Amino acid sequence: GQQLNQSPQSMFIQEGEDVSMNCTSSSIFNTWLWYKQDPGEGPVLLIALYKAGELTSNGRLTAQFGITRKDSFLNISASIPSDVGIYFCAGPPEGAQKLVFGQGTRLTINP
């Protein structure tokens, strides 16, 4: 089936640094979603993107829908300890009412 590849798989940064991660697909997606999962909890939706080239912000988080429709990017500015967690990208295969998820990017922050 379709797969989404997230990069990097893990990140170790200092508090206050900016973070960039991306998600790529071999096929076109018309919607990109970004989720965050805290330890022991369910994923929480951060940002939804519906248009190629779209740039959307949610506080210190900014996500972009790649113009090729085969990738998406998530940036976090001025990281803080509560940003720790696993970030997942997701998107619906064409014509399907379901999502495929990337394998996640695990973010660790050193105080």
Partner 1 sequence: NAGVTQTPKFRVLKTGQSMTLLCAQDMNHEYMYWYRQDPGMGLRLIHYSVGEGTTAKGEVPDGYNVSRLKKQNFLLGLESAAPSQTSVYFCASSYGYEQYFGPGTRLTVT
Token pair belonging to 105: 């990017």
Q: How far is CA 38 from the centre of its chain?
A: 14
1 contributes a contact to partner 1 by CB under 8 A = yes
Site mask for partner 1 (CB under 8 A), range 45-64, x = bound: x--x----------------
Tell me if the bond preceding 8 is cis, omega within 30° of 0. yes
Q: Which of 69, 73, 74, 102 binds partner 1 (CB under 8 A)?
A: 102
Q: How far is the CB of 5 from partner 1 (least distance, A)?
A: 11
* Euclidean distance between CA atoms 69 and 65, whole angstroms: 7
111 contributes a contact to partner 1 by CB under 8 A = no
* Euclidean distance between CA atoms 80 and 41, whole angstroms: 19
Binding site for partner 1 (CB under 8 A): 1, 31, 33, 35, 40-45, 48, 88, 90, 92, 97-99, 101-104
